[in-house]
Structures are given as C-alpha cells and as structure tokens.
Structure 1
C-alpha cells in the first residue's frame, strides 16, 4: 500500500526524470537522429536505476545495502506500476476532443484508402502473430497462444496500449505479456523511424515518391505533435473562448481537463452497461464473458467522440481547445511510457528473448512488404507519401507517422495529413488500442489460435478486396472529373 505523499513524490521523480531524459537526449546525437522521445529515454533511466539493474548490481556485492532495491523506494515503484493503466485512459479520451469532425462523405472519400491500408497492416500483424504462435511460439517456446497478439499490441498500439493491456495479460495468466509488448513497442518505435527513413530515401531514388522536398526540417517527436491536423476555429470562436474564461474565472486547462473527465466517465458508463448486458445474455451462468477483460481506454476513446459531437451539436465547441487537449494527452502519454518502462521485468525479457526477436523481425518484414507492394494498389494517389504515415503508426505511435509525413512532404502538397487524420476515425476504435486490440487476447485464450486466425484472415481478406476495389473506383472518379 502507499500514501498520498508517496503518490506526490512518485510524480516528482517522474518530473525530474523527464528533465534528465531531455538533457541526455539532446546531447547524444544518435538519439536525436532516431527521433527517440525524451519520455522513452527517461523510462530507460528509471529502469536502470531500479531493482532490475542498479539494485541487482548492488545486491550482488552487498545485500544489506540500502540501494539493494535500486534508487526508488518500494512505495514509489508501487505507484508507478499502477500508473500506466490509469493514464492511458486520459490519452485515448483526448484523441478526438477538439477535433473538427467533417461530414461522413468527405471522411470516407479521403480516408477510405488510408483505412484499407491501415487495416491491412493491423490485421496482417494478427495473422503473422497467430501463424507464429501455432508453428513456433507455443510448441517450441511454450508461450501461451495469446502471445500472438503481441505484435499488434506493441507495434500498432505502441507503449501506451502495451501498458494499458497489462491488467488483461495478468487476468489471462500471462503477466510477461506486459514486458514483452513494451519491448516490442520500443523495437517498433526505433524500427519504424529507421525503416521509414530508409524507405523514403528508396522511394525518392527510384522515383516512387513524387513530392520533392522544398524545405529542410528537423523535428523531434514532441514537436511533431504540434503539426497534427486540427481545426482550432475562427476569430468568433477565439472571442467566445476569451470571454468564457474571463467570465467563469477558470483556467483553460482546468476546463478542458473537465471535458477529459467527462469523456472517461461516459466511456465508463458504456463499459459498465456492456458488462451488464453481457452478464444478462450470452454471459449468463457459465457463458463466455468478454467485457470484463476489455480495459477502459478504448471505450474512453468512444466517450471522447460522443462528448465532442455533443458540444458541437449544442454550439459549444469553443469550450474545447485542441492544442490544450494535445498537451493533456501528451503529458499523460509521457507518464504512461515512463512508468511502464520503469517497471519492466528484465527477467521475463531474458527468458523470452528468442520469441521477441522472432516477433520483431516478422512484424517489421510484414509492414515493409505491405508498404512496398500493396500501398500503390490500395491508395490511388501519392501512395508512398500517404502510406509512409501509416507505416510509422503501425510500428510505433501516431507521432511517428506524422513525423515521417513531415519528412517526406513538409508542405502537405499530397494532402496526406488530412487523409491520415480522418483515417483515425475509421481505425482507432477498432485496432491500435481499439476494441479488437482489447478483445483479441481473451478471444484467443477462449477459442484458441486457429479460430481467431480464421477470423483475422477473413478481416484481412475483406480489407484487401475492398481496398483494391475502392482504389480503382476512386481512380475512375478522378478521371471522370477531369
């Protein structure tokens, strides 16, 4: 157990670690060149100073030393161990708050090719993972079948989703799943930037990338978040917002945090309603129950969409500021990453190192294959420019995708940013931390790897067929317009 003062000092340590991580990142060139976020550096530092590294070294020489469990007291580590599954709810609740949501016709026209491409990447990661589980991971390395979900959780979901899924893995008797998925997320983040940069240079040298870069740009992950597509509003909204804050005597970030809380509350009500419905229908008695294994964060995303639509409907959209929502979500994500990495079990990683390498290589090769061979068949216009963002997202986080887009098309002449932003509405609620990401491990544990392989293969086939057809239709429409 811990006290409130332990919580206070736990996050004071986080604040100091962020500053140290930023300082180290700025002075080590390879970290800057790979666009490694400061939170990732801070999390690794916390891991090195904890019981798994510093504590183990000290204990080996002097077990009675006060540093035998690392630099941080046990109460601090207990707070950190519970933080990722809490703060990830804030991250997902802010994804669509303050976003301008256009009509569905416009969203569909611009986002449908990107959605087909992103869904192909995501469902394929499940197919690859399940095939590996059936042939190698379970029979050779004795991992449970739910290890098949690790590629999508770590690569498509990223550190936040991997941390948020920790409780689900524990409930399914696979506690090492958290450590393995976090490691895969780190490999995916670095691999996404390296592979994305290499593919961008390859595309330019072979003429596949049509946009010529006009300006040199040097972005890091934190700065790239400021370039996300959002419509902040016009002068009348700015004036209304100014009077609002003056009349209510409330800090803007406090007001916006209130909407985050409302979105999470709406998501919680939806979650509890689904649990109740399930318990009264197919889950009654000895029936299979799925919802108790589904964490709150993907449903908090839906809660955020509902709150955003409501404030727009009542004409109060000026009350939510997209830049502030990005700051709130960014802080929560940094805390999620640092605390998740700080509590990784290196013992679990050492025991499963071959499996991690197999999953990593298979996931990276699949993503590169889809980008090179399927992007021009799924995305009708500027396929490699627009596909680069989804490649980055499928191997790290959304910011990685945006970073690669800014590198390949800084002036947005391909329209990739709008397509990438609108695609999230058709993608995030399902994969990359969405409902199926949360549901996949319990489904695999309940029905086994082979039935879920059939399901995911069917979804992969559906999106491929739809994507090929949709790409041709959009090309025809464009020729008719001319």
Structure 2
C-alpha cells in the first residue's frame, strides 16, 4: 500500500524524468524534427529504466532486477493516469468564452462535419477490422474495436484514463494497447502531417511558406488574448483576496470535477432504477473524465452568469491542464506492459495501419468535398488531432498557415465545443467499450455507420456544392 510520502517521491521522479526528457529532446535532432513532446521522451526513459527493459536484461540477483524504481513508486504511477486525466478534461473549457451556439456553428460547421466523420469512421474501421480479422485470426476481445478512436482521437490521456473501464470489462490488455496506439498515433500524425504539408505546397493547395515552427507550447495563448476590460474586472474582483490565483483556479477545476462526479453518480442511480433493473449496466463503466468536462462547461457558464468569469484565468488553466497531462503521459508510458504489446503485436500492428490509412484517406478524399474554403489548412488541423492530440492539430495548422490567413485557428477551437463532449474523449468514447460488450459488435457497427453516413450526407448537402466551386476555382475553371 503506497503512502503519501511514496506519492510525493513518485511525482518528484516524474518531474526529474521530464527534465531528462527535455535534455534528450535538445540533444537529439530527429526527436526535435518529429516534435515529439518531452513527456513522451520522459515516459519512454522511465519504461526503459523499469522492470520490463532494464530489469529484464539485468542479472536476476542484482539490485536492478526490478529496474531503478521501487515497487511503491510504480504503484503510484499506475494509478496516476486515471486520476490526473480528470484535471485535464475539467480544465478544457474553463476560461474559454463560450459564444452562442449559432455563432459557433456558423464558423465551425464544415470542420465539425469533417472531425465527426473522422471519429465515427475510426469506429467503423475498427469494428470491421475486429470482426473480419482480429477475432477470427487473433481471438482478441471485441472491445478492441474501440481502440483506434480511444487512442487516436483521445490521445494518451483518454487511453490511460480508460484503463479502469477495460479492467472491469475483462480486457485489461486494452489499456496497454490503447497507450501504445496513442504513441503510434502522435508520431505518425506529425510525420504524415509534415509529409502532406510539403505535398500540398507542391500541389498548390497551400499558398503560404512554411516557417520554422516553435515547440507546441506556443499554441496555448494564441486564441486567448485578454481584453483590458477583463483585466480590470479581474483586478477589481481579486482586490483584498489573500489567495494565490493558481490556487483559486485550481479550486474551479476541483469544482468542475465535483460537479462531474455528482452528474455521473446521478446517471448511475437513474440507470439502477430504470433500464438497469433488468441487468443492463453501462454508466458504471463510464469513467469520470468526460463528466468532468461537462462539469467544466457548467462552471464556466455559471461564472459568466454571475459576472465572475474574469476570476478564471485561461493561461493558468492551460498550465494546470498541461502539468496534469504531462503526468498522465509519463506515468502511462512508464507503466505500459511491453509483454501485452508483444503478445498482441499482430492486432496492434493492424489497428495502427488501419487507423492511419482511414485518417489519410478521409483527409485526401473527404476534406476537399465538405470544407468549402481552405480545405487543406483546415483539414490538416483535424487530421493532426485525429491522430494525436489537439496540440498536434494546431502544430500542423501552424506549418501551413502561420499567419492564420484561413481563419482555421478560430474554427478549430470552436469545433471542440461540438466535438469533445461526444467523441475524442467524450461521452461516447467513454461508453463505447461497455456498449460493445453489452450489445455486440454488429449492433454498434450499425449505430456508428449510421452516424457516419448521417454526417457525410449532411456535409455533402450543406457544403458539397460550395466545395466543388472552390475546387474548380483553385484549378482555374470558371
């Protein structure tokens, strides 16, 4: 049983590993070129120094037989992803000005269509692959069908946060496979995104010139410039307040998580007295983090209604979420099971290839047909997010549109309000494995295929004609 002192030293080791990751990042050129975050480097270092690599090659009788980290430290690390991911999602919309849904939709609708199509297509591809190959050939658990969307759209945080769900559903290997796929996703997303950016420039789809892109940290304050009115209001509200602003904003995060927990418990209770009476359970398998996201939106709207929203400082929220996400990534990678990846290597490889192939196909075929203006820039951002994390998407946007000529940054940011609460770590992402376990792959295939087709039909009807005219204009056809 780990103590509070073990937790303290566990997180001290995490930040030391991040410093080591930063040092390695600065010294190794190809890591810089791939824009691999220091947290991933740190997690890999921790994995190598742990029992699965260093411990495996060391003499069984040596002090390094279990790696350099004590079991108590590894025990804290194994629990950390499922805890800290709640902070990441709770802070997602705190401090964001939430405009009227109609205004958001008018700016972001084509990217909402494309992003939703990417996500639901990942389910369709994953289910078909699992039905046709993974179960007959490898005998894998059916819930593996959700891994592509969980890992690629959700990223490391969602993948690690779903560990408890996979454990309860009897597929503990799913968590390790998800984290491994998330690593493949973020690396392949940056590599393929960079290749596509260069190709698009040669083809004339991108008019700007690629600049040297800074590290991903730049994006955090890009769309969050504050007005003098907000700063004056914050100064007035915080007058005579004897509390650090970071502590205050961490309190808002805690409030969002508490509201999310109450919502989840309420849904579990409703299920227990309604459809759950017959034995069907779903909400008990849903992790807390998607409800924490909803809690964050509720807190933000409530603070705006009360006129207290200047107290929520968006850059601080970015920092709080960034620290939590770094902890999630480092500890998830540090405790991943290489044995599980080895035992499921065939399934792991096929899921990786299928996910990458679908994303590239969707970008090249769907994006120019449902995004009327600047389809390449806008679509590339969604491609990056669908293979890694939001920062990857914005990083690729920065490569092809450094001056925000297309307005894609705002559309990309607004899109998240119609995206994150559902997929990419939202409610359906969290519920998908339990839905598959309860209703079976064929039923969920019909559901996800129907949703995918609905988004595509809507996209082609609403934006297809405009997109065709734009493509003709690009080719000089009147």
**Please, what TM-score do these two structures have when normalized by structure 1?**
0.95
Aligned to 2:107: 110
Partner of 1:440: 432
Figure out how many residues of one structure are paired with residues of the other and give that number.
470
**Residue 290 (structure 2) pairs with residue 298 (structure 1):** yes
What CA distance in whole angstroms lies between the structure 1 residues aligned with 2:411 and 2:280?
A: 39
CA contact (8 A) 1:93 1:300 kept: yes
Equivalent residues in 2 for 1:60-459, closer than 5 Å: 61=59, 63-209=60-206, 211-213=207-209, 216-227=211-222, 229-230=223-224, 232-284=225-277, 286-459=278-451
- The one-character-per-residue Cα deviations of 1:403-438 (angstroms, maximum 9, x if unpaired) are 001111011010000100000000000100001101
What is the rounded CA distance, in whole Å, between the counterparts of 1:167 and 1:257 in structure 2? 25
- Alignment partners' CA distance in 2, 1:122 and 1:3: 40
- 1 CA distance for matches of 2:18 and 2:221? 19
Shift of 1:66: 2.2
| Structure 2, unpaired ranges of 5+ | 471-478
Q: SS where residue 425 of structure 2 aligns?
A: coil
Structure 1's unaligned 5+ residue stretches are: none
Confirm or deny: 8 A CA contact 1:36 1:221 kept in the other structure.
no
Separation in 2, partners of 1:310, 1:380: 36
| TM-score relative to the length of structure 2 | 0.96
Residues 369 and 468, structure 2, Cα contact 8 Å, conserved in 1: no
Q: What does 1:31-70 correspond to in 2, within 5 Å? A: 31-58=31-58, 61=59, 63-70=60-67
- Matched with 2:475 is none
Task: Provide the C-alpha distance between the structure 1 equivalents of 2:138 and 2:443, rounded to a whole number of angstroms.
Answer: 21
Moved more, 365-374 or 236-245: 236-245
Question: Conserved in 1, the CA contact under 8 Å of 2:267 and 2:283?
Answer: yes
Contact 1:430 1:436 in 2 (8 A): yes
Tell me the distance in 1 between the aligned counterparts of 2:221 and 2:331. Answer: 24
Do the aligned partners of residues 159 and 188 (structure 1) sit closer, same or farther apart at CA in structure 2, a change above 3 Å counting?
A: same
Give the superposition deviation at 1:365. 0.7
Aligned mates of 1:219, 1:352 — CA distance in 2:
37
